[in-house]
Amino acid sequence: QKEVEQNSGPLSVPEGAIASLNCTYSDRVSQSFFWYRQYSGKSPELIMSIYSNGDKEDGRFTAQLNKASQYVSLLIRDSQPSDSATYLCAVNGAKGSGNTGKLIFGQGTTLQVKP
């Protein structure tokens, strides 16, 4: 089982719609969760972080965390063509597990927002 799993997509949504990106992780004691956006040929860019169960909103982005289900999601409201990119979920190793500093990435979901 992969440590961090994402559907590779592509996920295609029309402009103005809500895009929903999902991620599951295997290490039950993981503590920090991140969403990155990566445009083709560019480096990953941090867009959201979340540490507690529930929702965290930042502009058009909402991150959702459910530790019991080991599930993280990212919602993008009012999707724009400029949101078309690969979205990477990343999970930090648990403190005391020997994984401090070890940020593990999923393979990413490609999002296409069609005008």
Binding residues vs other proteins (CB under 8 A): 31-32, 34, 36, 42-46, 49, 51, 88, 90, 92, 95, 100-108
Strand ranges of the sheet holding 61-66, from the earlier edge strand across to the other edge? 4-5, 19-25, 71-76, 61-66, 54-58
Smallest gap from residue 34 Cβ to other proteins (A): 4
Query: Distance of CA 49 to CAs 67, 83, 86, 110, Å?
Result: 14, 18, 17, 19
Nearer to other proteins, 108 or 113 (CB): 108
Smallest gap from residue 46 Cβ to other proteins (A): 4
Nearer to other proteins, 55 or 78 (CB): 55
Smallest gap from residue 87 Cβ to other proteins (A): 12
Smallest gap from residue 52 Cβ to other proteins (A): 12
Nearer to other proteins, 79 or 92 (CB): 92
Query: Distance of CA 51 to CAs 79, 87, 92, Å?
Result: 25, 18, 10
Other CB atoms within a 10 A radius of the CB of residue 92 amount to 19
